[in-house]
Structure 1
Amino acid sequence: TRERRKMRQTLRCLLSSSSNTTTLRIASINDVYKLDNLPKLSKYISKLSSQNHQKKPNAVLLCGDFLSPSTLSSIDGGRGTCETIAASGITHVSFGNHEADVGLPTLAARVSELKKSRVQVVNTNARSTTSPSWLMDKTSPYSIVGTDCGRIKVALLGLLGDGDNMFRDGTFRGVSIENVPSTFSDYYKTLVEGGVVDFMIPMTHQSLESDVLLAQTMSSYVERGVIFGGHEHHIIDETTMDNIRILKMGCDAEMASLVDFTFCLSSRKLVNVEASFVDLTVMEDSVVVKKIVEKHMAGIRKMEEEVIVDESVYKGDILSSEGTRYKQTSVGAFFCQAIKEELETDVALLNGGSIKGGMTYSQ
């Protein structure tokens, strides 16, 4: 009940005060193209808050590519995804390199819906005086979250990668993207050194190499820290020589990170970081969120039953699309061959990222 939750929060605050430490808990996922695991995330979060010896996250993050690319968003412009995000308990999202694929007007509408649902869209470095007005008005340059007792404040940043491999023209559909490490430095000086918050945690969507560069910048300000990242679709858990931990949880909310940041109340410094990884695929579904997903996915489920290509005509190796973003696969070759024959060309090139199955098909 609400009263019991208040009592537990008060008790945690008293215990923190007596031990001179307090803890901020953050859960994080990234790159969600399928909604199937968001009901499981919702159920997991609610279980944490109801267990006596557990603690509900102070923030639940989705670090980029929350809207696109997905089959559903290509049909409904992201409406179903945003409704599911809002219902699942996610508190903060940041932009990925594919968010603008739906077009800026559609993205603006979805951002407005998230804001009305009290999901904060944190956009730190894709904003300027020349940006569209909605981008400035409906996204936040940072978001402040606090420990249960309210004595430590932490700013979350949403940092979109500005690397050459992220966008064709180096912009977010015409919106300039500021350098990630420089942006972190600027906000650290304003927020932490300016006394607004005690610490900063970046949500990023960029390559691992770019996150390592950001970690080098962070290390000039803090003794330890965490980057919650996205963009790569496999699990990454790396701690740099500068004691900055980079966490990326694959894709589609199959895994989530649960990180406890322990702060010393007297020094207001981060003194410890503990991270665990949660396999959401084995969790129960939230009945409410599951109904929302099924409502929006009904049309897609029917499409999945349609036979587009008879795989029996394929005479090669076993069909597989696993790892298609990084290598040639038999499914990719099969599609390219079909395209060549249909268009009567000598060569067919297909972006591997558009093949989403990620599975091997038995014959």
Structure 2
Amino acid sequence: MNSKKIVIGLFVLALIISFPINTLAETTELRIYHLNDAHARVEEDSYSGSMGYAKIATLIKEARKEKENVMFLDAGDTFHGQTIANINQGESISHILNLMKLDALVLGNHDFNYDQKRVSELAKINNFPFLAANLVREDGKEIPYTKDYIIKEYNGFKVGIFGLVTPETVYKTHPKNVEGLSFEDPITVAKKTVKELENKVDIIVGLSHLGIDNSSNLAKNVKGIDLIVDGHSHTILENGLKINNTMIVMAGEHTKNLGYVDLVIKNGKLLDIKANLISKADTKNVKKDYIISEFVNRVNNANKIITSQVVGKTNVNLDGAREDVRTRETNLGNLIADALRHKFEADVALTNGGGIRASIPKGEVTQGDVITVLPFGNTAMLTKVSGADLKAALEHGISEYPATEGLFPQVSGVKFSFDGDAASGNRIQKVWVGGEKLDPNKIYTVATNDFMKAGGDGYEMFAEAPILSEAGGLEEILIEYIEENSPLAPEIESRIIIE
């Protein structure tokens, strides 16, 4: 009898051992919420289309109650861009994201706008890491405020998240802000990092601030990345973009959308992945999180003493929309360039459209409005260049047209026409300075901002030009000009003619 029991027991044991393990494993799920290029759009705003952090916090908090595994990631350009952040140099954003229990953030180019020291200080305030695997110091020393990757462990599986920063940061923030730093090739670094992670985790996520073209190349050239959460190009990928076995997601800009990705994992293997977006319209009936709302109110109340001061009045809407200031002449672009040229009594003024970050509606203009329009703290500089270099600067400025690139120039004292269909580098048709045809051999005084003077946005022709004079912040100069010339009514004057 005992021998029969032993035989039966061995038979049952053999069946259990031979039974496929994955049929016994439980299916688990992970939801990853993601934002990118918020540019400090903290509050819900019907004008810009932002849903704001308070509603986003509610959505994520509810998901954490309903789902076992929830992650929240930010793909950069987060700490700079609006008055609520700029006055305290990003600290308010750190506290908000701490309250929202952000898991990780990859540094965007604009996150360096306050300088490296401030990035390091913010890292100490954060309860989440800054990821940047391809960011190194030129002297070989360790960067104390970033990590290459982190590993998050959930019920039955592990997720590795590594960060990639855009190499464009060297000219898409002030060059002084990244002195001593080197931005290594994202594809090379990703291959190395994925190889290191693949034996440690079940799921690999690339958290990148590269832009859709570069993240697509990343997916094409690096095997083993299950998901790329990207930013920088402000692209809306409603259901993601699948390249090979990698899903790429991006949620647009300015908290207009909250992205989320649902992953299904079984026995350490990714079985399914689906991407979706929640738009501002979808959150019509979502209540704002009380804690986030109260914190934002306190910060705004503290800032009111500074921001509420009225500096003038405008009789027209001042157009600073991203899609406009980066592709054509606008009345706000003209106003800023006029203020800059007036400050130095220069022949010409050029400022990059990417430095203009908001519009101003008709009515009273406050100091806060101006800070929001010009949030980067750039200073004004007067230099001198030849007519040939001035033309080269204009040629460079329209080289990416019709793409909405920040290098597009807003100008004063100069008028030019260009053929947008011509080959890049051969688009400028005619140029006039002060009503006269440009003389390539003549020396002109040019007022610009310190970002462009340092070669920012690729304006290398200004980098070696001598500095004749310096003034205060660009926002201070604009405030002064508004006070002197209020009420305002700037117009489109055919300074830039697209043929």
Give the aligned partner of residue 109 of structure 1.
121
Distance between the aligned counterparts of 1:299 and 1:354, measured in 2?
26
Give yes or no for the alignment of 1:187 onto 2:193: yes
Distance between the aligned counterparts of 2:270 and 2:360, measured in 1?
42
How many residue pairs were aligned? 327
Q: What runs of 5+ residues in structure 2 fail to find an aligned partner?
A: 1-21, 44-51, 364-488, 490-499
Give yes or no for the alignment of 1:38 onto 2:53: yes
Between 246-255 and 121-130, report the one with greater CA deviation: 121-130
Give the aligned partner of residue 321 of structure 1.
320
- Equivalences for residues 153-172 of structure 1 within 5 A: 153-163=158-168, 166=172, 172=178
Give the aligned partner of residue 271 of structure 1.
271
Distance between the aligned counterparts of 2:299 and 2:121, measured in 1?
18
Q: 1:250 aligns with which of 252, 259, 265?
A: 252
TM-score, normalising length: structure 1: 0.79
- Equivalences for residues 296-315 of structure 1 within 5 A: 296-312=299-315
- Equivalences for residues 1-363 of structure 1 within 5 A: 20-32=26-38, 33-36=40-43, 37-50=52-65, 54-55=66-67, 58-114=70-126, 118-127=127-136, 130=139, 133=142, 135-136=143-144, 138-147=145-154, 149=155, 151-163=156-168, 166=172, 172-192=178-198, 195-218=199-222, 220-221=223-224, 225-237=226-238, 239-265=241-267, 268-280=268-280, 282=284, 283-312=286-315, 319-322=318-321, 323-324=323-324, 326-328=326-328, 329-357=330-358
Distance between the aligned counterparts of 2:203 and 2:177, measured in 1?
29
Q: Whose RCO is larger (CA < 8 A, sep 6+)?
A: 1
Q: Which has the higher strand share?
A: 2
- Give the conservation status (yes or no) of the 8 Å contact 1:59–1:92: no
Distance between the aligned counterparts of 1:171 and 1:106, measured in 2?
10
- Give the conservation status (yes or no) of the 8 Å contact 2:318–2:359: no
Counterpart amino acid of 2:275? A
RMSD of the TM alignment (CA)?
3.0
Q: Please give the per-residue CA displacement for 1:208-250, whole angstroms capped at 9, x wherever unaligned.
A: 21111111123x336xx32111112342355254253322212
Distance between the aligned counterparts of 2:354 and 2:95, measured in 1?
25
Distance between the aligned counterparts of 2:361 and 2:249, measured in 1?
27
Q: Please give the per-residue CA displacement for 1:251-292, whole angstroms capped at 9, x wherever unaligned.
A: 232311111111231xx3322111221135633211111111
Q: CA 1:233–1:358 in 2, change beyond 3 Å: closer, same or farther?
A: farther
Q: Secondary structure at the match of 2:118?
A: helix
Q: CA 1:297–1:84 in 2, change beyond 3 Å: closer, same or farther?
A: same
Distance between the aligned counterparts of 1:334 and 1:171, measured in 2?
28
Q: CA 1:55–1:330 in 2, change beyond 3 Å: closer, same or farther?
A: farther
> Following TM superposition, by how much is the alpha carbon of 1:196 offset from its aligned partner in structure 2, in angstroms?
0.9
Q: Secondary structure at the match of 1:76?
A: coil
- Give the conservation status (yes or no) of the 8 Å contact 2:112–2:173: no
> Following TM superposition, by how much is the alpha carbon of 1:29 offset from its aligned partner in structure 2, in angstroms?
0.3
Larger Rg: 2
Q: Secondary structure at the match of 1:263?
A: strand
> Following TM superposition, by how much is the alpha carbon of 1:189 offset from its aligned partner in structure 2, in angstroms?
1.2
Q: Percent identity of the aligned residues?
A: 20
Counterpart amino acid of 1:334? L
Distance between the aligned counterparts of 2:301 and 2:230, measured in 1?
31
> Following TM superposition, by how much is the alpha carbon of 1:103 offset from its aligned partner in structure 2, in angstroms?
1.6
Q: Secondary structure at the match of 1:68?
A: coil
Q: What runs of 5+ residues in structure 1 fail to find an aligned partner?
A: 1-15
Distance between the aligned counterparts of 2:288 and 2:29, measured in 1?
28
